[in-house]
Every structure is written in structure tokens, then in C-alpha cells.
């Protein structure tokens, strides 16, 4: 049963709302003034709060502000017999879900309650989804091999600084996870981490993506747009696959690193930015420099602290713990009953060639979870792990 709090100094209004809402099977609590209402709102969980504006001891606007400070997810509906458009706008700006004028229309009241409950449910589901996505994408780096322990130790040393870091390694080794972990442990952790996949953006658009553009600077620039450098101001910018960036864009990135300024495409002014740069690549940048594909001066700017992430074949001791880790994630995502590996299955996984690294292992574990019984066996691994592998 949904719980509703009604805060109003008029007994008749409280009684009317209580009768209507209880008839609709809602649980209703009353408060005769703003101070009592705020106390109830801060010490209990309500699905919707109705709050009058003109009240003794504490007016409704102040109650709204204090409720929003502690819990901005609860829908607060403001009610008033003396309101106007300006008052309604002020309430909405301060976080109110809706505004209703007295005398209260019954249909409007019930529609507002249903909409408010729908909004609260949506917010709750969104939080759960974000938590699920965050759990699958971020978190600690899994593994106890010597190589991984060294990386963890290095991350703890360099994360609190603003040093630029170049992360290298094959595709699927977890370079993005290393970057996220560095940001999480940095003094910029409360600020944004903005990720850019340089390989996924066409060369003619990379400058606009990184530095933004002014309205009319090119055909499709219908409005001004901030680039990733500006979006990451105060936080961290992660340039993934930087080895695929065009030489023209490299020159602009170098200038941004040297001067802590960017210039939007089509703009004639500089914009100051405070950004920590993390970069990653699966290419040998020294070889790319020799070929003329990468600027040596940018390489040295980025490579203050190098971190190399080993391939999964180089850290086979971590395969079992990674398999168990992904097993838990997949079971939760798929909503499936508990399953487990037997020891021989884990040993069989260690024998395989993991050219796709951790990304491939994660996919294989999901396949095994879906296709195997409660106990995942060696035979399951042989049958399902590499189904297209020729004998």
C-alpha cells in the first residue's frame, strides 16, 4: 500500500484528502503545520507528499526545499488557495513534482497521485538499472597474479596525482577498467569521467567531438556544442584507442595539453579547461611514430606514467577467479538459479587460447551459464567454450 503524507494547516482540507485517498486504498498520514510535516517527512518513507504553501511555523516552500535537500526522489505536490503562475513556477524550479490550486478537483488529484507514483517507480527502476550497469562496467580489477598485483599497486600510487597515464595492451584486456579505477581513486572522483573512443569517430568529426563547435561552423552544426574536453572540465578525459586519432586532431590535443585551453571548431576564442588525461591504445606507438602516423611530442606528453595491461594468456592464474566473477554477474543479469563450476571445468578453461582476452572469457562464461546444467563441467567447456574451433 502506497503511503501519502498530507501537510496542511486547514483541518477540512486534510480530512477531505484523507477520506478521498483512503477510499482509493492509500495509507494517509496528516500534519497540521510545516514543522510537523517536515519532521514526519525526514523520519519516514512516503511515496507522495502533498504540502500546502501558506502555513504557520514553516511555510510550504521552505518545507519543500528541506525535503529536496534530503531526498529529491520523493514526489512533492504543492497545494494552495492563494497561488498564481509565478508561485507555481517557483515550486517546480525548487523540485516540486506538481502544483494544485484550491479548491482541489477530485479527478486532478487522483491523476496527480498516479503520475507521482509512476514517477517514483521509474526513478527507482532507473537507479537499479544504473547500479547494475555500473556493477558490470566498473569496480575493482579482478585477479591475484603477480602482473595484476603490480598494476593495482601502481594505480594506487599514481591515481591521487594529476599525472598523465598511457595504458597499453591488447584489445579486451581491460584497459578501460584500469582507466575507471584510476579515476575512482583520484581526487577528481566526484567530477565526471568522460570517455572517447577515438577509433569509433570518423576523422572529419573527431575535432568537433573533442573540442566542440559553434553554431553554423559546418553544415550540420545547427547549434553550439561543448566538446569532450569541456564536458570533462574538473574531471578526467579518457582517450581510448588514441593511436587511431588523425594527425590534425593530435596537434590540437597537444596544444590543449600544453596550454590547458581548447578552441571550438568555428570559434575564435580560447576556453580554459582543467582536465586530467588518461589515454589507451592497442598499438605500438613507437612503431606508429616511425611510420609517421603518430606525433612523437604528443607521445611523450601522454606517456608520463606507462601502464601495460597483460593479455589473459599471460595471466592464466587469474582465469579461475575471473570465471567465478563473471558467473555471478551473468546469473544476476539473466535472473537464473545458482550454478557453479567443477574444478576440472576451471582447469579446462585455463588450457584454452584467449586471443580475445577478458572480453572473450566473459562471453564464454555467459554461453556456459545459458547452455549448461547447474554444475558446469569439463565436458561443457569442451563442447561450448570454443564451438567453432576445428579439431
User: 57-82, pLDDT tens digit by residue?
Assistant: 899 999 999 999 888 889 999 998 87
Q: What is the mean pLDDT of the chain?
A: 90
Q: Is the pLDDT of residue 25 over 50?
A: yes
Q: Is the pLDDT of residue 136 over 50?
A: no
Number of Cβ atoms within 10 Å of the Cβ of 295: 19
Joined grid coordinates for residue 17: 484528502
More confident: 72 or 329: 329
**Predicted confidence band at 128 (pLDDT cuts at 50, 70, 90)?**
low
Say if residues 22 and 16 touch (Cβ distance below 8 Å): no
Calpha distance 158→308 (Å, rounded)? 14
The whole-number average pLDDT for the span 251-257 is: 92
Give the bridge partners for 265, in sequence order.
Answer: 213
3-class DSSP assignment, residue 195: strand
* Amino acid 290: pLDDT: 97
Domains present along the chain, CATH in parentheses: 3-133 (3.40.50.2300), 162-310 (3.40.50.300), 313-384 (1.10.8.60)
The dihedral built from the CA positions of residue 161, 165, 170 and 171, taken in this order, carries a sign that is: positive
Give the bridge partners for 236, in sequence order.
Answer: 193, 276
Q: Is the pLDDT of residue 221 over 80?
A: no
Q: Is the pLDDT of residue 165 over 70?
A: yes
* Amino acid 386: pLDDT: 83
The whole-number average pLDDT for the span 260-287 is: 92
Q: Is the pLDDT of residue 263 over 60?
A: yes
What is the SS3 assignment for 58-91? CCHHHHHHHHHHHCCCCCEEEEECCCCHHHHHHH
DSSP states of 108-163:
HHHHHHHHHHHHHHHHHHHHHHHHHHHHHH-SPPP--SHHHHHHHHHHHHHTTS--
Calpha distance 217→219 (Å, rounded)? 7
* Amino acid 299: pLDDT: 97
Say if residues 194 and 238 touch (Cβ distance below 8 Å): yes
Give the bridge partners for 289, in sequence order.
Answer: none
Joined grid coordinates for residue 229: 574536453
Amino acid at each position: 500500500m502506497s503511503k501519502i503524507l498530507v501537510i496542511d494547516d486547514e483541518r477540512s482540507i486534510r480530512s477531505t484528502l484523507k477520506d478521498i485517498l483512503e477510499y482509493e486504498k492509500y495509507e494517509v498520514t496528516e500534519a497540521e503545520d510545516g514543522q510537523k510535516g517536515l519532521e514526519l517527512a525526514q523520519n519516514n518513507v512516503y511515496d507522495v507528499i502533498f504540502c500546502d504553501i501558506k502555513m504557520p511555523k514553516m511555510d510550504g516552500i521552505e518545507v519543500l526545499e528541506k525535503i529536496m535537500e534530503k531526498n529529491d526522489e520523493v514526489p512533492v505536490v504543492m497545494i494552495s488557495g492563494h497561488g498564481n503562475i509565478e508561485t507555481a513556477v517557483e515550486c517546480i524550479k525548487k523540485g516540486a513534482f506538481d502544483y494544485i490550486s484550491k479548491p482541489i478537483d477530485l479527478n486532478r488529484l487522483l491523476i496527480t497521485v498516479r503520475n507521482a507514483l509512476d514517477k517514483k517507480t521509474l526513478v527507482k527502476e532507473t537507479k537499479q538499472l544504473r547500479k547494475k550497469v555500473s556493477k558490470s562496467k566498473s569496480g575493482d580489477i579482478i585477479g591475484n597474479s603477480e602482473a595484476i598485483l603490480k598494476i593495482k599497486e601502481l594505480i594506487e600510487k599514481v591515481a591521487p596525482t594529476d599525472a598523465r597515464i598511457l595504458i597499453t595492451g591488447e584489445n579486451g584486456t581491460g584497459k578501460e577498467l584500469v582507466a575507471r579505477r584510476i579515476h575512482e581513486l583520484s581526487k577528481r572522483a566526484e567530477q565526471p569521467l568522460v570517455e572517447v573512443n577515438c577509433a569509433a569517430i570518423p576523422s572529419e568529426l573527431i575535432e568537433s567531438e573533442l573540442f566542440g563547435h559553434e553554431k553554423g561552423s559546418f553544415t550540420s552544426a545547427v547549434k553550439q556544442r561543448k566538446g569532450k574536453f569541456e564536458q570533462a572540465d574538473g574531471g578526467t578525459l579518457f582517450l581510448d584507442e588514441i593511436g587511431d586519432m588523425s594527425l590534425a586532431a593530435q596537434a590540437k590535443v597537444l596544444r590543449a595539453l600544453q596550454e590547458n585551453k581548447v578552441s571550438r571548431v568555428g570559434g575564435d576564442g580560447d576556453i580554459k579547461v582543467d582536465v586530467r588525461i588518461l589515454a589507451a591504445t592497442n598499438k605500438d606507438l613507437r612503431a606508429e611514430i616511425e611510420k609517421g602516423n603518430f606525433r612523437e611530442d604528443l607521445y611523450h606528453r601522454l606517456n608520463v606514467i606507462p601502464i601495460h595491461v597483460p593479455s589473459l594468456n599471460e595471466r592464466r592464474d587469474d582465469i579461475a577467479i575471473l570465471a567465478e566473477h563473471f558467473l555471478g554477474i551473468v546469473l544476476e543479469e539473466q535472473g537464473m538459479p545458482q550454478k557453479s563450476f567443477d574444478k576440472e571445468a576451471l582447469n579446462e578453461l585455463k588450457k584454452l587460447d584467449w586471443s580475445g582476452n577478458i572480453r572473450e572469457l566473459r562471453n564464454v562464461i555467459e554461453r556456459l551459464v545459458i547452455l549448461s546444467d547447474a554444475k558446469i563441467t569439463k565436458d561443457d567447456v569442451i563442447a561450448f567454450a570454443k564451438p567453432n574451433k576445428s579439431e
